[in-house]
Structure 1
Amino acid sequence: MAEAAEPAGTPAARELLGLWRLAGEAVPRDELADALLRLARSRPEVAQAYYLGWQAAAGIYAELGSGRRLPPGPGDPAQASDAAVFAQLACAGELSVEALCRLPCWLGGRLRRAGIDRGVALALELAPGQPGLLLLVLRDAAATALAGWLGELLGALLRLARQPAPAAPLLQADDAPTLLLDADGRLLDLNRAAQRLLDDCRLEQALALLPVNHPQLQQACRQQLRSVGPVSAVVGGRSLLWQFIPEPGRGRVLVRGRDASAQLRSEREAAQASRLYRLITENTTDLISRHTPDGRFLDASPASWTLLGYWPEQLRGTPVRALLHPDDLGQMRQAAEVLAQRGYHTLSYRLRHRDGHYLWFETACRAIRETYTGAVVEIVSVSRDVTARVQGEEVRRRLAEVIEATTDLVLFLDRAGNLTYLNQSARRALGLAEGEAAPALAALLDAGDRARLLDEGLACAERSGVWESDMRLHPPGGQDSLPVSLVLLAHAGSGAARYFSLVARDMTERELRETQLRRHQDELAHTARLVTLGELASGIAHEINQPLAAVVNYASASQRYLQGAADNPQALERVAQGLERITAHANHAAEVIRRLRAFLRKGQRRMQALDVAVLAREAVRLCAWEAANGRVAIVEDLPDNLPPVYADRVLLEQVLLNLLRNAIEANREAHPHAPSRIRLAATAEAGGQRLCIVVEDQGPGVDEAELEQIFTPFYTRKAEGLGLGLSMSRTIVEGFGGELRASRQAEGLRLSCCLPLAGRGERPEPAGHSGPTEQQE
């Protein structure tokens, strides 16, 4: 025992403490075997030492550690077995080398080959459940008893080192949750703070408080012999931070924690706010910038490139006034004074883009002051590009000036038809004083026009954007009504609301000009009829001469019958027949003169429902002699049940006469000495809205280029013609709301006169009616 109690500074004592430490730390068996062998060799009685671990699968003993190796035994290694040795050691715990070599075993052969014949084999477990033997080669036989005692001592030492270590004496005094773990990660002890935390989290196992990778953290802590952490763990809604602290020489680890829920939550919120602020700053379209009190850029957000063409690093140190519009320098100096007084200010100004053009910005500035002195140390600004808004306001201002200055009447109204705004021209035209409330729409328009505007106009404007119509405005003061041309426009307001603008142009002068134009057209038409009369004079004279000649003949015959009345009883009867025929021919002549007077009468046009068939036949009779003289037959295709048209009788008859005479002349040009024909037809269009009168000739026709030129005034191919017939005819037809067009045929030309039908309930005037009173020519 005296030898075992060596001073702590001797090599044997150091090896003993090292073995104790390693056994308590549960290091690998090879490392523990090396420590054990070093301790055994430190004894002078031991010449050599080997530790062999039992290999249960192979049934033999094999060396552990990094020391010398025994030579292999004789025979086939595959048949080797040390089971006899294992059984003897399990019973006795100790076996001499001489006795071991006599056993049928692989290890005995190895010892004989190594020349070892003196020593002892001691059963010794480096780790629980892992048997092995310590082979000590002794210098003399007297040391055998010492070897047995040494084996018992080492076994007790290893078992004691592997016993759980007592809890740390200061563990309960720590107010932070603390756990003590052994080398295998098992819980040795925990303090009262850890127990309270365990109860609060309603957990059964204390290790559940630790991070899920606490075994790896503990191993790293023990291997590196340094503190590891803090490492977070979320338990029961709490955020815990744990520090792993190693205990050198014992293999134990002290795990000390603290509840950092509030701190981590604050840090996460701060980090999230920082990331959000950075994200907003880097991605916002507004320019966020910091400035010195004298206006130099300290920093700017990346929006500076998009807005001004400069990267933030290019703006740093640049004075704002270098980019300002010269006219805004004074405003910026005033803004600096306001900032110094109030601490915040909002202003609008212009900055120069890198490309040279200026942009409007609206900036909200705030001054950052020094805590103790209150001096402005920095200015933070948020700037927004408002160029489009400023330009839009300028455009709206100019449009407002135009609306107020225009001579057209401009009225705004809502969907319900309420007037919300009238410009100055509208107020003057309607006799409204400045500031006087807008009248109701019903007071300005007739009931029918108002209903058409609200029902048809608003719907059409919402659908296509615009609606046009002609109406009359009635000023509320009783002045004469105004003829106006209305244009209704739909506009998109705020949200889904719509409003409408009504632009009305005073058409009084146009109405007067149209009246004068119609009067001039009537004069021109009357002149054309006089010209036509001169051209038809021969036919008219023939129409009148025939009944006059017949009257003279019948009068002369009647005189002769009267002279012989005494001798011829039938003479009086013949005289009566002559007088009857004289009357008929005189009436015929009077009818020709009546038609001629009706055709030549001069006066205002009178629109009425007309029977086209009757009117067309009268036009045929007027030009019948001219057609017969040219051997032109007029073929009539005029049904008796045609719907009436709405036109002026005299003017429409003049149009039909122009078309027929034009066709007769074309036929005479193409067939100078041969018979030809003209087709006069009338049919209703498919839609039932118009009636078309068609005149087809067999003349030379025209080419494509002449189709529109034939309606141009003074255009003619005739040597004596004026070129006004077709031009004047188209003007008259369009005045009726119709259309006159020409088209080519295989032979000749086709002229189509399409006229609007008369309204329902209107009956055509009877044939021969020429109006209420024939006016003086």
Structure 2
Amino acid sequence: MINIEEQKRLNELEAAFDLFNQTSMQLTSSYDALQTQAAHLQKQLAESDQEKRQVADKLSRLLDLLPAGVIVLNEKNQILEMNPSAKSILGEDAIGRDWDIVIMNVFLNSNDAGELITHDGLVFQLSESPADSDLSRILLIQDVSAARQLQEHVSRHQRLHSMGEMAASLAHQIRTPLSSALLYVSQMNSEHLDTDKREKFVGKALNSLNHLESLVKDMLRYAKGGKGSEKEILIDSLIANLEQAVDAQITQSNSKIRFNGFLPGLVITGDQDALMTALQNLVGNAIDVVGQAAQIEVSVNKLSDEKVDLVISDKGPGIESEKLEKIFEPFYTSRAKGTGLGLAVVRAIAEAHGGEVWVKSIVGYGTQFGLRLPLTSRKETV
């Protein structure tokens, strides 16, 4: 017979086996569930990898077909990768080379807009975006030569269109002083004309012819677009030449002009004769509007390392706000002897130099005209 003690031990063993069986079944069930989940996750991972490969393939084909060049630089500023368009621009051997050296070899220089220009005259625009790593960069370079040529054609077309519209007005502008000159010249043939009257008629004929010359000069400058050369111009020299050029006008009109001091050594790039014409037009405009005893100020204000304002101020009658939008239009003038092209020429010259012209005026207090131009550099003065 089994005693109580052995029976108790058997019962404990049976309970232990039952617990073991239950635990084994739970583990088996959990293992099966894990296997099912692992299979599901493996399937999802395979699908995700396939999607990634498809996206990578699409991006690769897109980069191959992209007309713009894509360049990846490493932390040493060396070209790590390029798409086919970049290779056609920079050359197959650019891979692994220093970016700055490649730029110097492929491109001749850059323009005021920061665009790169090749030895063949092609214009490329360069933009940059950071890559995933802080140590690398992604550059995008694209040919904008056609766009720039189109802009030039559109600008030229607009000027020609404006000239076509103003043809009738030009004929009228020319006819008036020409008729006056012919009238005075015809009177000088008279035998009964004394010396004083003859001199008077000569003076009036010359005034009419000078008016004609001014009109034709402004017309040619406007048609030309305001820029004929690309040279570095020291603003100190430009203002000094302006002071000499307007001296006669200032003296004849009993006016006063003050040249305010400014930071020396500022340099712009362009056509000095054209810029002189623009500044003389602004000074002459101030004298014509004020009449006798005009008070004029010339200032040079450096706005930043990139821009400078050349400002002509007067204390004249000012310009009504409704006229401010029209004064730069060709042949718009409120003066009987004005050609109507002076301010239009100023605007054309400013825009041809990559800048703009602005005006501020308060009726009864005066007017400010400004040429805002891009700075090239700052030369050190001794």
Deviations 1:549-608 (A, max 9, x none): xxxxxxxxxxxxxxxxxxxxxxxxxxxxxxxxxxxxxxxxxxxxxxx9xxx999746433
Deviation for aligned residue 1:271: 4.2
| 2:83 is aligned with 1:422 | yes
1:608 corresponds in structure 2 to: 233
Give the structure 1 partner of residue 127 of structure 2: 487
The answer to whether the Cα contact below 8 Å between 2:233 and 2:272 also exists between their aligned partners in 1 is yes
* Aligned with residue 759 of structure 1, among 375, 378, 381: 378
Q: 1:676 Cα deviation (Å)?
A: 5.3
Aligned to 1:711, the other structure's residue is in SS state coil
Q: Does residue 1:471 correspond to 2:116, yes or no? A: yes
Conserved? CA contact 1:486–1:503, under 8 Å: yes
Q: Is the 8 A contact 2:347 2:356 kept in 1?
A: yes
CA contact (8 A) 2:250 2:257 kept: no
Distance 1:508 1:717, change over 3 A: same
Counterpart check, 1:267 vs 2:30? no
1: distance between equivalents of 2:334 and 2:57?
A: 60
The alpha-carbon deviation at position 266 of structure 1 amounts to 0.7
- 1:191 maps to 6
**TM-score normalised by L of structure 1:** 0.32
Structure 1 residue 386, shift from structure 2 partner: 9.4
Structure 1 pair 762/609, CA: closer, same or farther in 2 (3 Å)?
farther
Q: Which has the larger radius of gyration?
A: 1
Deviations 1:448-499 (A, max 9, x none): x9xx9xxxxxxxxxxxxxxx9423457xxxxx58543222334448xx8855
- Among 729, 744, 750, the alignment partner of 2:361 is 744
Counterparts of 1:443 and 1:643, CA distance in 2: 30
- Structure 1 residues 277, 699: closer, same or farther in 2, change over 3 A? same
**Are 1:658 and 1:729, in contact at CA under 8 Å, matched by a contact in 2?**
yes
Q: Report the equivalent of 1:698.
A: 316
Q: In structure 1, what is the Cα distance between the partners aligned to 2:243 and 2:94?
A: 61
* Paired letter, 1:694: I
Q: Does the Cα contact within 8 Å between 2:265 and 2:380 map onto a contact in 1? A: no
| Letter of the structure 2 residue corresponding to residue 418 of structure 1 | I
* Cα distance change on mapping 1:701 and 1:691 into 2, 3 Å: closer
CA distance 1:613–1:483, change in 2 (3 Å): closer
3-state DSSP of counterpart to 2:378: coil
Q: Does 1:636 align with 2:263?
A: no
Tell me the residue number matched to 1:504: 142
Q: Which residue of 1 aligns with 2:245?
A: 619
CA distance change for structure 1 residues 191 and 512 in 2, over 3 Å: closer, same or farther?
closer
Cα root mean square deviation, aligned:
5.3
Matches within 5 A, 1:447-458: none
- By how many angstroms is 1:445 displaced? 1.7
**Counterparts of 1:382 and 1:438, CA distance in 2:** 35
- Deviations 1:155-182 (Å, cap 9, x if unpaired)? xxxxxxxxxxxxxx3x25xxxxxxxxxx
Tell me if structure 1 keeps the 8 A contact 2:124–2:144. yes
1:445 aligns with 2:81: no
Structure 1 pair 731/397, CA: closer, same or farther in 2 (3 Å)?
same
Mapped contact 1:716–1:722 kept (Cα < 8 A): yes
Tell me, yes or no, if the aligned pair for 1:664 and 1:697 is still in contact at 8 Å.
no
Does residue 402 of structure 1 match 2:99?
Answer: no
Q: State TM-score, norm by structure 2.
A: 0.59
Structure 1 residues 272 and 713: alpha-carbon distance in aligned structure 2, compared to 1, 3 A threshold:
farther
> How far apart are the structure 1 equivalents of 2:46 and 2:228?
76
State the distance in 2 between where 1:730 and 1:655 align.
8
The whole-number CA distance in structure 2 between the counterparts of 1:383 and 1:512 is 51
Q: Call closer, same or farther: CA 1:643–1:760 in 2, change over 3 Å.
A: closer
Picking from 294, 298, 309, the partner of 1:681 is 298
What's the CA shift string for 1:431-456, capped at 9, x where partnerless? 65xxx784724552229x9xx9xxxx
Q: Does 1:646 align with 2:272?
A: no
Higher relative contact order (CA 8 A, sep 6+): 2
Judged with a 3 Å threshold, the aligned counterparts in structure 2 of structure 1 residues 388 and 194 are, in CA distance, closer, same or farther, namely closer
**Which residue in the other structure is 1:107 paired with?**
none
1:358-401 CA distance string (max 9 Å, x none): xxxxx96xxxxxxxxxxxxxxxx999689976984685366246
* Alpha-carbon distance in structure 2 between the residues aligned to 1:652 and 1:507: 27
The answer to whether residue 325 in structure 2 is matched with residue 662 in structure 1 is: no
Q: Distance in 2 between matches of 1:634 and 1:270?
A: 105
**Cα deviation, residue 697, structure 1:** 4.0
Aligned-pair identity in percent equals: 19
Aligned CA distance change for structure 1 residues 722 and 620 (closer, same or farther; 3 Å): closer
Report the Cα distance in structure 2 between the residues aligned to 1:716 and 1:387, rounded to whole angstroms: 72
Secondary structure (helix, strand or coil) at the match of 1:679 reads: strand
Q: Secondary structure at the match of 2:316?
A: coil
* Contact 1:609–1:762 (CA under 8 A) maintained in structure 2: no
Shift of the 724–395 alpha-carbon distance from structure 1 to 2, 3 Å rule, reads farther
Q: CA deviation at 1:654?
A: 1.1
More helix by share: 2
How far has the Cα of 1:750 moved from its partner? 1.5
Question: Structure 2: any 5+ residue segments left out of the alignment?
Answer: 164-173, 182-213, 215-219, 222-226
| CA contact 1:690–1:757 (8 Å) conserved in 2 | no
1:412 aligns with 2:30: no
8 Å CA contact 1:678–1:696 kept in 2: the answer is yes
